[in-house]
Structure 1
Amino acid sequence: MTARDVAENPKNLRLVEVAAAQLPRSLDDISLPVINGNHALETGLVPARDALGLERAEGNPYANVLVITQALSRDGRILRLADLLTSAEVARFIRDRYRGSVIPVRTT
């Protein structure tokens, strides 16, 4: 998305395009940045604590998914990886490590 995608700006806000990776480092210069979670985490921000607003996890089209080719669909290594990624152990690791800033697929 760019400033050209904004259909209306009734508050006449000045929109400044900044490379996503630079946004966390620009906090002192920008009034209201929208920062991708991975860039926030890389610079020590904690989105679950520091953000004014967060995207909803439910129905979010930006969830990470495991994508494979048809040829690998029965590969034991891929099946094991899929099991691990959706395991309770990995969900627990994500919750403990990211404290709400990253949401695991599995919630139990």
Structure 2
Amino acid sequence: MTIKALSSAVLLATALLATPALAETIRIGATPGPHAQILEAVKPILAEQGYELEILEFSDYVIPNEALASGDLNANSFQHQPYLDNQVRDRGYAIESVATTVNFPIGIYSDKVENIADLPEGAKIGIPNDPTNGGRVLLLLEDNGLLDLTDGVGTAASVADIIDNPKNFEIIEVDAAQLPRVLPDVDAAGINTNFAEQAGLDPINDPILREDAKGPYVNVIAVRSEDKDQPWVKALVDVYHSDEIRTFVETTFNGAVLASW
């Protein structure tokens, strides 16, 4: 090799070393609001580790798991463990949680009354129409003496499990994302925190009844079972569970959203 050729080879090698490696893309699904906001905070930190986080927002609770199971997504971050368990059981998805994220205590809101005890006979109460979040509201009503449910039904509670309804409430099942819109048309509605915030409701001060922050409804990051040991999964979880993201959650949501780690 001539000196000129050797110099050219050295220059080419130097240029290649100086060129940043292409980032590996992680496509993650989330619902709009806090879930997506937190992932936006995760994104630049994860980029420092060579991963490009592509965040896709979904307005419902069904498509993100379908998209994950089919391979259109690498991960999702929008659901709590009981909902994921229900989806896996009912639909046979080979997906599972790899980390907890945040907790959104669900609240019951009303434009008609300021106290849950003031709900009238025959009041219309909207609840999410998905199995776990609807059951969540029913359990909250039961815990406050407003309904009785089948013994031991737990997080699987449904309208069919109501065995005593002393004030003859009319329970109306509505898509979770639509509940803020129907709030003026009902006496009260159980609304998930992310949808409440999008509608301009205050999840701390506006509910006439609010779920205890502790419980089984902590949200999770889910991936396909075949991917759970991939390096990008560990990187994503490590960044999400970092002190920087905890601080972001605490300062951004002021107690409406609680870090689980």
Q: Aligning the two structures, in what range does the TM-score lie when normalised by the shorter sequence?
A: 0.7 to 0.9
Alignment correspondent of 1:5: 161
Q: 1:33: how far off?
A: 0.8
Q: 1:19 & 1:5 partners in 2: Cα distance?
A: 20
Which runs of structure 2 are paired with 1:5-84 in the superposition (5 Å)?
5-58=161-214, 60-68=215-223, 69=225, 71-73=227-229, 75-84=230-239
Question: When the two structures are aligned, how many residues end up with a matched partner?
Answer: 104
The alpha-carbon distance between structure 1 residues 28 and 67, as it changes in their structure 2 partners (threshold 3 A), is: closer
Alignment correspondent of 1:104: 259
Bigger Rg, which one = 2
Q: TM-score, normalised by structure 1?
A: 0.78
C-alpha deviations, 1:29-80, integer Å up to 9, x for none?
A: 211211112211221212112112222232x22211234435541x332212
For 2:236, give the aligned amino acid.
Answer: L
Q: 1:101: how far off?
A: 1.4
Bigger relative CO (Cα 8 Å, ≥ 6 apart): 2
For 1:20, give the aligned amino acid.
Answer: A
Alignment correspondent of 2:6: none
For 2:172, give the aligned amino acid.
Answer: V
Q: 1:25 & 1:96 partners in 2: Cα distance?
A: 28
RMSD: 2.0
Q: 1:28 & 1:71 partners in 2: Cα distance?
A: 44
Q: 2:253 & 2:210 partners in 1: Cα distance?
A: 14
For 1:25, give the aligned amino acid.
Answer: R
Name structure 1 gaps, 5 residues minimum.
none
Q: 2:237 & 2:173 partners in 1: Cα distance?
A: 37
Work out the percentage of aligned pairs sharing the same amino acid. Answer: 35
- Deviating above 3 A after TM superposition, structure 1's stretches of 4 or more consecutive aligned residues are none
Judging by fraction of residues, say which structure has more strand: 2
Alignment correspondent of 2:60: none
